[in-house]
Amino acid sequence: MQPTLRQAVLQAQQQLVSTLQIEPSTARIEAIALLNHVMHQSSRAWFLAHENDALQANNHAEFQALLTRRLGGEPIAYILGMREFYGLKLKVTPDTLIPRPDTETLVETALAKIPKHQPYKILDLGTGTGAITLAIASQRPKTSVTAVDASEAALSVAIENAATLNIKNVSFLLSNWFADLQNQRFDLIVSNPPYIESNDAHLGQGDLRFEPLSALESGADGLDDIRSIIQAASEHLNPNGWLMLEHGYNQASEVAHLLHQAGFCDVSHAYDIAGIARVSIGMSTS
């Protein structure tokens, strides 16, 4: 006898809690998401309306296959091929970093500086899925956003996301940071660069095991890429232009020091919902 959808989700929830040590509420959300994916549905309301239906054998087998991948630690975003960020549904692949809620702090900080009804040139360094670029561009249609990434595979995902979301005020460039931007200048540069220390044990744990190392690790102190960006940013900023960098929970003071050293003024921080200084900001005077 085939289980009902509710029974399948309950069993999966218990396995996820036991194996991955995640909260029961999170495990239930993940189990429903996996089942909805199998059933080609997207809402929890659909599941609730059909939870007493029998789960057909072929669908049950597919659900179990996805659940096995998740129980092995594979991020659910990669299994589903999608992650929501700032209200946008984005395609994700193992070639891209998985967008995280912490990065919405960077988006909010940027939007606070961007005029709503006039042209403004923005550069997103290391765009990955295009999450930051597309969130900003969707909220500020008068802006022109250039997104660069050194990974051709990641850049193709960002381009596909822009097309799917029909966001037009963006352009994409294959470039290692500023290398192929020539003499272009911008009013605002944003980046969520790699910032994890190369010997950090977390790189071998959880979702990070599956994400591209090049998007995570940045030298012995995690600041190699941030240093490179800060040192070159003034050459690509208009006078009084802003540089905004996401970084680790314990790196704010060092990033502020680097900004001051490079001649940036009005250096400050933006804090995430946990009260952690997640973004450092500086104004160019050149």
Report if pTM > 0.75.
yes
Whether residue 271 is annotated as binding a ligand: the answer is: no
Whether residue 177 is annotated as binding a ligand: the answer is: yes
Look at residue 281 and tell me whether its pLDDT is greater than 80.
yes
pLDDT in tens, 156-203: 999 999 999 999 999 999 999 999 999 999 999 999 999 999 988 888
Q: Calculate mean pLDDT across residues 101-105.
A: 95
pLDDT band at 285 (very low <50, low <70, confident <90, very high): confident
Whether residue 129 is annotated as binding a ligand: the answer is: yes
Instruction: Please check whether residue 162 is in contact with residue 170, taking contact to mean a CB–CB distance below 8 angstroms.
Output: yes
3-state SS track over 91-140: ECCCCCCCCCHHHHHHHHHHHHHCCCCCCEEEEEECCCCCHHHHHHHHHC
Whether residue 127 is annotated as binding a ligand: the answer is: yes
Whether residue 126 is annotated as binding a ligand: the answer is: yes
Whether residue 242 is annotated as binding a ligand: the answer is: no
Query: For residue 77, what pLDDT is reported?
Result: 96
pLDDT band at 206 (very low <50, low <70, confident <90, very high): confident
Report how far residue 130's alpha carbon sits from residue 203's, in angstroms, rounded to the nearest whole number: 23
Query: For residue 101, what pLDDT is reported?
Result: 93
Query: For residue 282, what pLDDT is reported?
Result: 98
Whether residue 194 is annotated as binding a ligand: the answer is: yes
Whether residue 149 is annotated as binding a ligand: the answer is: yes
3-state SS track over 126-190: CCCCCHHHHHHHHHCCCEEEEEEECCHHHHHHHHHHHHHHCCCCEEEEECCCCCCCCCCCEEEEE
Amino acid at 214: S
Match 């009804």 to its residue by tokens: 117
Whether residue 193 is annotated as binding a ligand: the answer is: yes
Q: For the chain, what is the mean pLDDT?
A: 95
Whether residue 130 is annotated as binding a ligand: the answer is: yes
Q: Calculate mean pLDDT across residues 18-33.
A: 95
Report how far residue 81's alpha carbon sits from residue 91's, in angstroms, rounded to the nearest whole number: 6
Whether residue 195 is annotated as binding a ligand: the answer is: yes
Report how far residue 209's alpha carbon sits from residue 180's, in angstroms, rounded to the nearest whole number: 30
